[in-house]
Amino acid sequence: MNAPGRPNWDAATSRFVRIAALDDALGLIGWDQRTMMPEGSAESRAEMVATLEVMRHELLAGAALADYVAAAAGEVARDDDADGEWRRANVREMARSLAHARALPSDLVAARARAEGACEIRWRAARPAGDYAAVLPALAEVLGLAREAAATKGAAFGLAPYDALLDQHEAGLRAPRVDALFASLEDFLPDFLARALDRQARRPAPLPIAGPFPVARQRAIAHEMMAALGFDFRFGRLDETLHPFSGGAADDHRITTRYDEDDFAPALMGVLHETGHAIYDFGLPLAWRHQPVGTARGMVIHESQSLLVEMGVCRSRAFLGWAAPRIAAAFDGVGPEWSADNQWRRAALVKPDFIRVDADEVTYPAHILLRTRLERALLDRSLSPSDLPDAWTDGMRSLLGIVPPDDRLGCLQDIHWYVGSFGYFPTYTLGALAAAQLLAAARAADPDIEPGIARGDFAPLFSWLRSNIHGYGSLLSAEELIARATGRPLDTAAFEAHLTARYLG
């Protein structure tokens, strides 16, 4: 990373080290806010976060940093050593961060942080009660500020407002690209779902596995599976929260889940999903730590890594052949219901249901299609937040043929909109497409990956991922990264082939 004789480069990179430290602090504060914070601390915590967000924003948006970055581009333009490409990409990513920051005034950044913190606290009380009315005023405020930010950034970048929000989560992602991939899925999925359900109905149903499953035992098997996948507990931990996530800081990965003593599978699969996120972060290039080019590429790649682990690997026959006896031992389980075959049939069960994070991989895209449509409608004002519950119900009936009995299982289930994360949802399904494409390429490149999974050895898989995805950080765009790793642009073919092999094979 060092570039002797490049004073502007040195000045810019040193400031980004400070910005990275603020990001780490905000990550750990956010973890605490969602897991440990006393309810009465919400107001002071929102002010703390707003202050740090403004500090971060002012560091990024200041004229001095913009001048350093612009001059640094000239200093590294002709570098032909091994790090030259990385330096130029780092300047590009710096400039992108600056552009997003400078598009918004500090008072809007602070207002959003305060409103989102207050709304999250209301959502945490409203969700278990199914009381959408209790959080509606706070959501309306968050939405209004998100609209303002989207319009402001859109005007600054010459983009449609929704594209400006997509770009925050995945550089270069635009609605037409999302729409094209989603249209392909919409052509494929309805008929496929019907065929998968018909095929499933002609097979014996999986045997139920009766609980209760004590939280302590669920936590123990989750720790065992995390460690087997390669999670390093010297640099991370597992905790509980209302909405599972992976976050924290560069060397302090915080994974969270929620437990149900009637069914161990949702928490375990959620942990495996978040472990995929964390292992990606563990594999980012150390030489570029605390610089934009050394960070995760974006949420399409990030979600591809979590879904590759959870859906592609940990719901496979190979994985469950190895994991099933360990899961059974964790709960003192005996009998045919604990067999590897029965546990696989439970993990691969296709069933339209209300909760996105517990959805099977066939119906999961429908959840994302619904949320993408609704958030776009909320942002362009064709849908009022007061009408969101009815629109949600209509969408679930249309896409999956089911109607949520209450808002807890409907529009209150996800935290994203209540903390201002509009434009994030499409990255889940784009990540699922990328996961299938990357896993197919990995298996083709290394024939020991599948046998490795079957014996509980995940080193071959993660070695390929580190070499082809993790180690690149943000050197390339997501589209370039996927094309380089798989030999073709992102499409739906590998995902459709994966579903066909697993559910119709």
**Using 50, 70 and 90 to split pLDDT, how confident is the model at 40?**
confident
Residue 180 and residue 168 share a domain: no
pLDDT score of 2 more than 60? no
C-alpha to C-alpha distances, 24 to 3, 57, 475, nearest whole angstrom: 25, 14, 21
Q: How many CB atoms lie within 10 A of CB 192?
A: 18
Contacts of 361 (CB under 8 A, 6+ apart): 307, 311, 315, 432, 499
Residue 165 and residue 183 share a domain: no
**Using 50, 70 and 90 to split pLDDT, how confident is the model at 3?**
low
Residue 163 and residue 190 share a domain: no
- Residue 406 covered by a domain: yes
Q: Any idea what the CATH number is for the domain that residue 180 is in?
A: 1.10.1370.30
Residue 457 and residue 348 share a domain: yes
- Residue 2 covered by a domain: no
Residue 1's pLDDT is what?
62
Looking only at Cα atoms, what is the longest distance across the chain?
71
Residue 135 and residue 70 share a domain: yes
- CA nearest neighbour of 295 among 250, 248, 234, 246: 250
Encode pLDDT of 331-343 as tens digits.
Answer: 999 999 999 999 9
Residue 492 and residue 385 share a domain: yes
- Residue 452 covered by a domain: yes
Residue 479 and residue 383 share a domain: yes
pLDDT score of 298 more than 80? yes
Encode pLDDT of 437-486 as tens digits.
Answer: 999 999 999 999 999 999 999 999 999 999 999 999 999 999 999 999 99
Residues known to be catalytic: 274
Picking from 146, 175, 204, the residue at the C-terminal end of a domain is 175
- CA nearest neighbour of 425 among 241, 248, 182, 101: 182
Helical (H) or strand (E) element with 222: helix 215-229
**Using 50, 70 and 90 to split pLDDT, how confident is the model at 195?**
very high
Percent of the chain whose predicted confidence (pLDDT) is above 90:
93
Q: Which amino acid is at 470?
A: H
Residue 344's pLDDT is what?
96
- Whether residue 72 contacts residue 42, with contact meaning beta carbons closer than 8 Å, is answered with no
pLDDT score of 243 more than 90? no
- Whether residue 480 contacts residue 473, with contact meaning beta carbons closer than 8 Å, is answered with no
pTM to 2 decimals? 0.94
pLDDT score of 505 more than 90? no
Residue 134 and residue 90 share a domain: yes
Residue 256 and residue 133 share a domain: no
- Residue 34 covered by a domain: yes
- Angle formed by the axes of helices 63-76 and 42-61, to 10°? 50
Picking from 175, 207, 239, the residue at the C-terminal end of a domain is 175
Q: How many domains are there within the chain?
A: 2
- Whether residue 98 contacts residue 65, with contact meaning beta carbons closer than 8 Å, is answered with yes
Residue 42's pLDDT is what?
83
β-strand 252-257 against 246-249: which pairing, if any?
Answer: antiparallel
Dihedral of the alpha carbons of 328, 329, 333, 335, in degrees to the nearest 10: 70
Q: Any idea what the CATH number is for the domain that residue 70 is in?
A: 1.20.58
Tell me the pLDDT of the chain averaged across its residues. Answer: 95
Encode pLDDT of 251-269 as tens digits.
Answer: 999 999 999 999 999 999 9
Picking from 150, 175, 200, the residue at the C-terminal end of a domain is 175
Contacts of 204 (CB under 8 A, 6+ apart): none
Residue 321 and residue 359 share a domain: yes
- Residue 1 covered by a domain: no
Residue 79 and residue 208 share a domain: no
- Residue 326 covered by a domain: yes
Task: Report the number of secondary-structure helices (H) and strands (E) in the chain.
Answer: 20, 3
Domain with 291, as residue range(s), is: 176-503
Average pLDDT over residues 388-414: 97
- Residue 285 covered by a domain: yes
Residue with tokens 């009995």: 405
- CA nearest neighbour of 157 among 100, 97, 93: 100
Percent of the chain whose predicted confidence (pLDDT) is above 70:
99
Residue 169 and residue 183 share a domain: no
- Residue 240 covered by a domain: yes
Encode pLDDT of 91-123 as tens digits.
Answer: 999 999 999 999 999 999 999 999 999 999 999
Encode pLDDT of 124-180 as tens digits.
Answer: 999 999 999 999 999 999 999 999 999 999 999 999 999 999 999 999 999 999 999
